[in-house]
């Protein structure tokens, strides 16, 4: 099992640019979560899906953030336009029963 | 809103000493999970506790769930350098939905060889 796969591992972009983060969950897992981690705010849940349907997006900070899950094996988190305060590590996680399996994360730096 | 606090925020111990981190919720939890995140890594699931007063052990790690299901602890006996990392608790309530966890603030453990 390859686990949860995220890409890219690192992203450096200029303020105002569009950023797309990608996630491939573990096959068979019916829940998918996007988290953001910073020193100041810790792990924040942004949005989660169940069977590809967004269930709770109340953690999405602004309209600049959007997430999609077009099928059971792929999800994206898009930031447009990006701002320096979006710099963080973004984790995708998937789950079947109770424990979450996290991907290795995408470290985003917006300059 | 739902809050899960952990103390201490940081802990430095000499290798071989014991370590404990405490997790407190503002509301009653249906269950609680613990995760470990190595420096530069991602959170890794350790264990889930469900029953009031439950105690589980994994080698040198002992996990407890409080009687009121509002607090939990993780105790590591005789720490090793491989224990370095941040330990998070994550709670779920009956109101948070089928699979939504609230992560604690984490305790960062440093082990001095």
Nearest to B105 among A35, A42, A100 (CB): A42
Quick check: A55 and B103 CB within 8 A? no
pLDDT value for B96? 57
* Sole residue written with tokens 């985003």: A108
Who contacts B99 (Cβ-Cβ below 8 Å, separation ≥6)?
A31, A48, A50, A95, A98, B92
Q: What is the mean pLDDT of chain A?
A: 95
pLDDT value for B95? 66
Percentage, residues of chain A above pLDDT 70: 99
Buried b (16+ CB within 10 A) or exposed e, A73-82: eebebebeeb
A69: closest CA of chain B, how far (Å): 17
Chain A residues touching B45 at Cβ < 8 A: 99-101
Query: Across A19-100, where does the E strand assignment appear?
Result: 19-24, 31-38, 42-50, 53-56, 65-71, 74-79, 88-95
Q: Integer distance in angstroms from the first to the last C-alpha of chain A?
A: 36
For an interface test with B, give the residue of A32, A42, A50, A101 to mutate (most B CBs within 10 A).
A42
Quick check: B42 and A105 CB within 8 A? yes
**Residue A55, CA distances (Å) to A33, A50, B65 in order:** 10, 7, 28
pLDDT value for A97? 79
Percentage, residues of chain B above pLDDT 70: 94
Which residue in B78, B87, B107, B74 sits closest to B17, CA to CA? B78
């Amino acid at each position: 099992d390859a686990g949860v796969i995220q890409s890219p591992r690192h992203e450096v972009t200029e303020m105002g640019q569009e950023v797309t983060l990608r996630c491939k969950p573990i096959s068979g897992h019916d829940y998918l979560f996007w988290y953001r981690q910073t020193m100041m705010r810790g792990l924040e849940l942004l949005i989660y899906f169940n069977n590809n349907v967004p269930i709770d997006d109340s953690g999405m900070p602004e309209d600049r953030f959007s997430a999609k899950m077009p099928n059971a094996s792929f999800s994206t988190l898009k930031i447009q336009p990006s701002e320096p305060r979006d710099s963080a590590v973004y984790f995708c996680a998937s789950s079947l029963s109770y424990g979450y399996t996290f991907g290795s994360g995408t470290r985003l730096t917006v300059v | 809103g739902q809050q899960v606090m952990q103390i201490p925020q940081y802990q430095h111990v000499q290798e071989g000493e014991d370590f404990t981190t405490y997790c407190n919720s503002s509301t009653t939890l249906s269950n609680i999970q613990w995760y470990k995140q190595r420096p530069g890594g991602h959170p890794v699931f350790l264990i889930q506790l469900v029953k009031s007063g439950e105690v589980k052990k994994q080698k040198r790690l002992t996990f407890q769930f409080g009687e009121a299901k509002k607090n939990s602890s993780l105790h590591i006996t005789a720490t090793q350098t491989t224990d370095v990392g941040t330990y998070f608790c994550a709670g779920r309530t009956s109101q948070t939905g089928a699979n939504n966890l609230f992560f604690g603030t984490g305790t960062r453990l440093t082990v001095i060889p």
